[in-house]
Amino acid sequence: MAITDVSDLRCVHCNGATLAVTPIADSDRMIKHGAIICQSCFSATDIIYDVPFLGGYDGQDFIGLIEVVATAEMNIGGISTETARLLHQLLKEYHEAPDKAHWIENHPNEMVRASWFSYRYHDFIQSHSILINENLSGKKILNVGAGTGADSVPLLDAGAQVTCIDYSPTLVGNGAKNLPNARWFGGFAHVLPFQDESFDVVSANAALHHFRSVPEALREMLRVLRPGGFLFTTGDPFRPDLSDDNLEFAVFNRHEAVLSGVNEGIFKFGDLWDTLREFQQYIDIAFLVDVANVGELEGTSGIGAEVFNDCWVPCWDQNIEVLRRSSGSIGCVVKKKAHIDIPAATQGPFVLPAGILASWLTNQDEAFSRLMGWAVPELIDLPFPGTQQSWFELLNGWMAPEEPFTSRTGFKRARWLLRTGSAKAIEFDIRTVVIGEREMDVLIDGKPISRSLISGETSRLRVELPESQSQNPRLFELRFTDQSDHPNGFDGNCFEVFNRVLSD
């Protein structure tokens, strides 16, 4: 991809509006460090797999980077433009089918019977009812948290000029390959690398709940939107304002993607509403929600989806109070009526440049080990089995501890980050959760150290530590040798660990 149009970009450090793409002699290199330079502050950013990456990772991104590395490991290549187009067509046909059950049963394409088809339909009806009366032809659209771009295909097909941005170098690299008709950037929702009022439409599909800060992302999305344009979000779960992380941990306890490292969250209704309300005089807001207590809302209008409750909800005080104590799925449309003075977000110097992270991703095991070298001290030596769940443990494969707190259950693979001091070995008791033998590997700092057969009977494993001169914490990974799904389902993919000690 030739990076021709940088006219609407800005520097995420100094907010300067002049960026220069420097000629790179060695054009075969996948990562071109420092290839884009701000003409005001001379900070440099990378071009990774032909995609300019504007911005870098800081300490608050650590948990999210587990996902970046894990999804590179899962080799999620995204779907082709043709498949995305076909899926969109199928969803449209399903939406229009007079007898939905009959349509599903008799359709020749297997995709319509996949378990995820109804989730995709939920996202579809939200964006369908938002966009139904919009003419997108020639519109300049920014898709934030674009992933590999599948949701941008219908926008491109409607004649829009689409710009995609995501914070994972793997996703944007694959996206640029799958969807070359869109313009691709690596970067962050909380510090968008675009000048004020650059887009007619800003969208985020099933993306807000992956962002590290919904309020910061919304402010940036509003900033880059031109007056007269609109921003829309779809497909996000939300929870009551008075709930805490324990509700999220309960929802995700047996969630295979999250246990495998996909960094999802459930934001509070107030994260959305309280941020938008600040700009109330400049915007019109409409929510599209699917909640169980829909009867408590006033003035709603359904969108004709038989399978879901989705309805438009006017932002009346009474409705806002109901939504503050509800949970469900939410989409929103925000029309920007006038210019809003929103200072552009900026970043300090990078702790971890995106090009460095991308260079690790060729070896996933080592990438995790290197990433853990970047962990904040609070994440090292967490008590095991512990009495509380944490995001770090959840994304690293550990389910919440349960009373009497003597063991912890891992899903497929699970990790510890420990200082080993003068210890010579690590020992623990382990068993499979479902009766039957399975082979288990133990890796230390990304290198396989031992392989054993474990069963439903508890057995003691002792793993000798390789010598290390470094005082750095070490990353332990317990992993079923065969990572494919077990015939016994979720529990068949789990193992239980007790009595972990570092020993001489």
- Which tokens in the block code for residue 275? 């941020």
Is the preceding peptide bond at 404 cis, omega within 30 degrees of 0? yes
Instruction: State which residue, 15 or 472, has the beta carbon closest to Zn ion.
Output: 15
Q: Which residues, numbered 12-71, are part of the site for Zn ion (CB under 5 A)? A: 13-14, 16, 38, 40-41
Asked if 195 interacts with Zn ion (CB under 5 A), we say no
Min CB(198)–Zn ion separation in Å = 17
- Which tokens in the block code for residue 103? 């349509």
Who's near 322: CB < 8 A, 6+ residues apart? 293, 296, 297
Min CB(5)–Zn ion separation in Å = 19
Instruction: State which residue, 19 or 311, has the beta carbon closest to Zn ion.
Output: 19
- Rg of the chain's alpha carbons, rounded to an integer? 24
- Classified as helix, coil or strand, 138 is coil
Of 7-15, 104-112, 194-202, 259-267, which segment contacts Zn ion by CB under 5 A? Answer: 7-15
Cα gap 145→415, rounded to integer Å: 27
Min CB(20)–Zn ion separation in Å = 11
Min CB(97)–Zn ion separation in Å = 53
Cα gap 244→234, rounded to integer Å: 23
Cα gap 338→496, rounded to integer Å: 57
Instruction: State which residue, 18 or 301, has the beta carbon closest to Zn ion.
Output: 18
Min CB(19)–Zn ion separation in Å = 8
Instruction: State which residue, 14 or 20, has the beta carbon closest to Zn ion.
Output: 14
| 455 and 436 Cβ atoms separated by less than 8 Å | yes
Of 6-14, 124-132, 300-308, 423-431, which segment contacts Zn ion by CB under 5 A? Answer: 6-14
Min CB(46)–Zn ion separation in Å = 15
Instruction: State which residue, 140 or 190, has the beta carbon closest to Zn ion.
Output: 190
| 185 and 54 Cβ atoms separated by less than 8 Å | yes
Min CB(10)–Zn ion separation in Å = 8
Of 5-13, 258-266, 326-334, 447-455, which segment contacts Zn ion by CB under 5 A? Answer: 5-13
- Which tokens in the block code for residue 331? 């989409």
| 173 and 193 Cβ atoms separated by less than 8 Å | no
Instruction: State which residue, 103 or 350, has the beta carbon closest to Zn ion.
Output: 350
User: Which strand ranges, in their side-by-side order, compose the sheet holding 438-444?
Assistant: 413-418, 474-480, 438-444, 447-454
- Classified as helix, coil or strand, 204 is strand
> Which amino acid, one-letter code, is at 154?
P
**Among 325, 286, 391, 301, which Cα is nearest to 67's?**
391
- Which tokens in the block code for residue 367? 């990438």
Total residues binding Zn ion (CB under 5 A): 7
Instruction: State which residue, 41 or 307, has the beta carbon closest to Zn ion.
Output: 41
Instruction: State which residue, 343 or 383, has the beta carbon closest to Zn ion.
Output: 343
Q: Which residues, numbered 390-419, are part of the site for Zn ion (CB under 5 A)? A: none
Min CB(13)–Zn ion separation in Å = 5
Cα gap 78→332, rounded to integer Å: 26
Instruction: State which residue, 12 or 259, has the beta carbon closest to Zn ion.
Output: 12
Instruction: State which residue, 13 or 219, has the beta carbon closest to Zn ion.
Output: 13
Min CB(345)–Zn ion separation in Å = 14
Cα gap 447→316, rounded to integer Å: 57
**Among 159, 188, 192, which Cα is nearest to 172's?**
188
Cα gap 31→204, rounded to integer Å: 27
Q: In DSSP terms, which residues pair with 454 in a beta bridge?
A: 438
Min CB(16)–Zn ion separation in Å = 4
Positions that interact with Zn ion (CB under 5 A): 11, 13-14, 16, 38, 40-41
